[in-house]
Structure 1
Amino acid sequence: MFNYQLHNYTFKNLKEQHMTFEQVFNHILKFMRRNPDGNFKLIIGTDSQVHQGYTSFITGIVIQCEGKGVWACYQKNVIPRKITNLHEKISFETSFTETIFTMFTQERKDAMYEIVLPYVDKGATFTIEGHIDIGAGKRNKTRRFINEMVARIESMGAEPKIKPDAFVASSYANRYTK
């Protein structure tokens, strides 16, 4: 049994610390209501960094309105050991992303869809993406895990994205892993 907390349920960004998921969700709804006729993407992705004696995992939640900006926050989890096995590390990253996806219950997703629904005939959209910090390049060591991790994200009802399109994991979350 683990003797450490695997899931930290507080979130933060540059303006706010210690947000609950309910506060995060309310920020997302508020952001969407500003431009209900927009093209929205809810994006979740995780990156990690191995440090001396521990591994830090950052999961980003981003709501993007194409051409109108973003609202974002992140969650930090720490495993108090160096995770050197690449498959284990990528699997943990995907697990943290999946955990956040489960917080977006059908009721919450429906509330998001309801914001854009009246504007669909004017081009409004809402999609959900899961960004995975893996790449398909021949020299990329993570490419052998693509099918497994993509299937896991698809099973959550999200559209999986890998590098170079996985910017929430490979750029936003990566910034906070250091």
Structure 2
Amino acid sequence: MHFISPTKGTMSWDEVVDDLLVYVVEEPEFTYKIIIGTDSQVREETHFVTAVVVHRVGKGARYYYKRRVYDNIKSLRQRIFMEAATSLETASKLAQDLAEKGHTELNLEIHLDIGQNGQTKEMIRDIVGMITGSGFDAKIKPYSCGASTVADKYTK
């Protein structure tokens, strides 16, 4: 898995994990949130962007993103479930890699591009249940900046 850092360019998955940990360890007195979110946009193909954000609460953040392109996936329901599954897969891998490096104290949140308004409101229970049933916190709009702001920026 290759990700892009706006400041460091293309990075391997291992480089992302190491860079994230350097960011956390350099100022350990702060609280950190690790956020994973995926958004998609339909064009000729469907573009999915997954963002990994490490938020130093009260003092900025660092993020990395990965773009995947698939043949047209026009069904909104299928796209939303694929966004959630992609974020869940990324969060699971990150949690495992952080635990292997001795950092089980970092909590991961999965941000979902769904909310009480619009066409996705009927999917909230199913999608949030899938995420929380896997052991992660789930955030929906308007509290899901990882998907609705960071990932969204790179789907355009």
Q: TM-score, normalised by structure 1?
A: 0.82
Distance 1:106 1:47 in 2: 23
Matched positions, count: 155
Match of 1:173 in 2: 151
- Could you tell me which of 8, 22, 32 is aligned with 1:30? 22
Match of 1:127 in 2: 107
Deviation at 1:107, TM superposition (A): 5.3
Deviation at 1:105, TM superposition (A): 4.1
Distance 1:85 1:107 in 2: 33
| 1:63 aligned onto 2:43 | no
| 1:47 aligned onto 2:39 | yes
CA contact (8 A) 2:17 2:97 kept: no
Deviation at 1:106, TM superposition (A): 3.6
Distance 2:23 2:129 in 1: 30
Gaps in structure 2 of 5+ consecutive residues: none
- Could you tell me which of 84, 99, 110 is aligned with 2:74? 84
Distance 1:166 1:59 in 2: 13
Distance 1:107 1:75 in 2: 18
CA RMSD of aligned residues (A): 1.5
Q: TM-score, normalised by structure 2?
A: 0.92
- Could you tell me the percent identity over the aligned residues? 32
Q: Which stretches of structure 1, 4 residues or longer, exceed 4 Å deviation after superposition?
A: none
CA contact (8 A) 1:101 1:156 kept: no
Gaps in structure 1 of 5+ consecutive residues: 1-8, 115-125
CA contact (8 A) 2:32 2:55 kept: yes
Match of 1:118 in 2: none
1:34 partner amino acid: E
Distance 2:152 2:10 in 1: 20
2:12 partner amino acid: T
Please tell me whether Structure 1 or Structure 2 has the larger radius of gyration of its CA atoms: 1
Deviations 1:37-73 (A, max 9, x none): 2111000000000002x00000000011111211100
CA contact (8 A) 1:94 1:149 kept: yes
